[in-house]
């Protein structure tokens, strides 16, 4: 085999290896960072600490084995660990959405300063790929019309997502440059300094945006429903009503919501957090209504609520969840 052909094959194998390492480990570490370090640890400060620890230690419960990142830990952290307030909900969502990017920026800066070699270098480059998670949250899923933690928060408030989109895209460009620069083992002092300062600027912009939203959320919560009325977009106004219904345990705020699915979720959450099963009765769809009764019965450990379920075949399952 000619030397040129062998070199080509070697390069192809190397590229496949790097692609696998970066995508597999980068995405998984990013997801773990998002769910465990972002949502899980932050939720310890705002809710039921015992249940939060059970989730973080991968307890098997009615939701299944909470094995991050494959089972949707992010879908259950809120209902199990948060005493709903506007500020706590926003901080937990922001931490889940921003923590991977923060870690990615710090790992990239370390790569530039220390230039580690071998496996340590590969691992740090994988850590630098955490920004993919934030790119999904700030840009890709919202652009495609899908849901994300960050997008859900924006839809419930008058905040502007544009700064986070710009920070995320800029981060992708800079961190991507750091990864290529590190893989190629360049030693250009001017380029090194440029990348270092760029990472620091992105980090400062991210923290400033984060701080601004927290300060605004505190102001927004004080203004209450008057803040919702200022939102011109109907979908976001409905989301705002939903949010305040949830944190004030006021089902009447759900009544004015136009989208049936949002209205159903609103009644469900208000019933769940207030502990009032009568609110579940306001849900039109029987299957959702029964799920509402079942979830609430399991939360408050009250078997009498199971008897409200209209589908008799689901009552034994409801009673089983209470006792296990």
Q: How confident is the model at residue 267 (pLDDT cuts 50, 70, 90)?
A: very high
Contact 38, 78 (CB under 8 A): no
pLDDT for position 228: 76
Least confident of 166-175, 213-222, 285-294: 213-222
Q: Is the pLDDT of residue 185 over 80?
A: no
What count of Cα atoms within 13 Å lies in the side-chain half-sphere of residue 257? 27
Domain residue extents for the chain: 3-223, 226-323
Q: Is the pLDDT of residue 226 over 90?
A: no
Least confident of 46-55, 100-109, 244-253, 286-295: 46-55
Rounded distance between C-alpha atoms, residue 215 and residue 206, angstroms:
14
Q: How confident is the model at residue 200 (pLDDT cuts 50, 70, 90)?
A: very high
Q: Which of 99, 103, 199 is nearest to 149 (CA)?
A: 99
pLDDT for position 50: 63
The long-range contacts involving 208-211, CB below 8 angstroms and separated by at least 24 positions, are 209/163, 209/164, 209/167, 210/94, 210/98
Q: Which CA distances in Å does 262 have to 136, 153, 255?
A: 23, 14, 10
Q: Is the pLDDT of residue 289 over 50?
A: yes
Least confident of 57-71, 204-218, 228-242, 273-287: 57-71
Please state whether beta strands 60-61 and 64-65 pair in parallel, antiparallel, or not at all (unpaired). antiparallel
Q: Is the pLDDT of residue 231 over 80?
A: no
Q: Is the pLDDT of residue 198 over 90?
A: yes
Give per-residue pLDDT as tens, 206-223. Answer: 888 888 888 877 777 776
In this prediction, residues 260-279 reach a mean pLDDT of: 88
Rounded distance between C-alpha atoms, residue 55 and residue 161, angstroms:
30
Q: Which CA distances in Å does 127 have to 26, 30, 34, 166, 259?
A: 6, 7, 12, 21, 40
Greatest mean pLDDT among 137-141, 240-244, 300-304 lies in 300-304
In this prediction, residues 180-198 reach a mean pLDDT of: 86
Q: Which of 269, 279, 286, 277 is nearest to 306 (CA)?
A: 277
- DSSP-H helix ranges across 224-302: 225-229, 234-248, 252-255, 260-274, 286-300
Q: Is the pLDDT of residue 80 over 70?
A: no
Give per-residue pLDDT as tens, 106-127. Answer: 988 998 888 787 778 877 887 8
Q: Is the pLDDT of residue 201 over 70?
A: yes
Residue 40 buriedness (CB in 10 A; 0-12 / 13-18 / 19+): buried
> Within its chain, how far is the Cα of 141 from the centroid?
12
Q: Which of 131, 102, 160, 113 is nearest to 26 (CA)?
A: 131
Q: Where does the chain show beta strands of DSSP type E?
A: 60-61, 64-65
b vs e for 175-199, b when ≥16 Cβ sit within 10 Å of the residue's Cβ?
bebbbebbeeeeeeeeebeebeebb
The long-range contacts involving 245-251, CB below 8 angstroms and separated by at least 24 positions, are 245/269, 245/270, 246/84, 246/270, 246/273, 247/84, 247/85, 247/86, 247/89, 247/221, 249/273, 249/274, 249/276, 251/279, 251/282
Q: Is the pLDDT of residue 13 over 60?
A: yes
With a pLDDT cut of 70, the percent of the chain lying above it is 74
pLDDT for position 197: 94
Contact 101, 95 (CB under 8 A): no
Q: Which of 195, 138, 140 is nearest to 163 (CA)?
A: 138
pLDDT for position 60: 47
């Amino acid at each position: 085999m000619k030397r040129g052909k062998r070199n080509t094959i070697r390069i192809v194998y190397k590229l496949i290896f790097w692609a696998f390492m970066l995508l597999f480990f980068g995405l998984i570490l990013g997801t773990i960072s998002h769910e465990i370090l972002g949502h899980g640890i932050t939720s310890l400060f705002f809710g039921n600490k015992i249940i939060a620890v059970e989730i973080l230690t991968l307890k098997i419960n009615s939701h299944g084995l909470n094995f991050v990142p494959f089972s949707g830990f992010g879908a259950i952290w809120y209902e199990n660990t948060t005493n709903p307030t506007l500020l706590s909900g926003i901080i937990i969502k922001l931490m889940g959405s921003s923590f991977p990017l923060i870690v990615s920026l710090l790992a990239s800066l370390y790569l530039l300063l220390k230039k580690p070699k071998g496996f340590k270098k590969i691992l740090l480059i994988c850590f630098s790929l955490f920004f993919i998670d934030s790119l999904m949250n700030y840009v890709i899923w919202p652009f495609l019309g899908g849901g994300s933690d960050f997008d859900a928060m924006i839809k419930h408030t008058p905040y502007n997502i544009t700064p986070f989109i710009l920070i995320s895209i800029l981060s992708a460009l800079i961190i991507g440059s750091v990864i290529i620069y590190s893989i190629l083992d360049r030693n250009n002092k001017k380029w090194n300094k440029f990348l270092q300062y760029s990472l620091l600027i992105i980090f400062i912009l991210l923290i400033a945006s984060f701080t601004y939203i927290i300060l605004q959320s505190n102001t927004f919560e004080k203004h209450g429903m008057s803040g919702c009325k200022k939102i011109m977009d109907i979908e976001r106004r409905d989301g705002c009503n939903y949010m305040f219904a949830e944190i004030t345990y006021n089902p009447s705020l759900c009544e004015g919501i136009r989208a049936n699915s949002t209205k159903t979720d609103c009644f469900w959450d208000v019933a769940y957090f207030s502990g009032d099963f009568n609110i579940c009765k306001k849900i039109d769809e029987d299957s959702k209504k029964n799920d509402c009764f079942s979830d609430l019965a399991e939360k408050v450990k009250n078997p009498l609520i199971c008897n409200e379920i209209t589908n008799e075949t689901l009552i034994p399952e409801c009673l089983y969840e209470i006792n296990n």
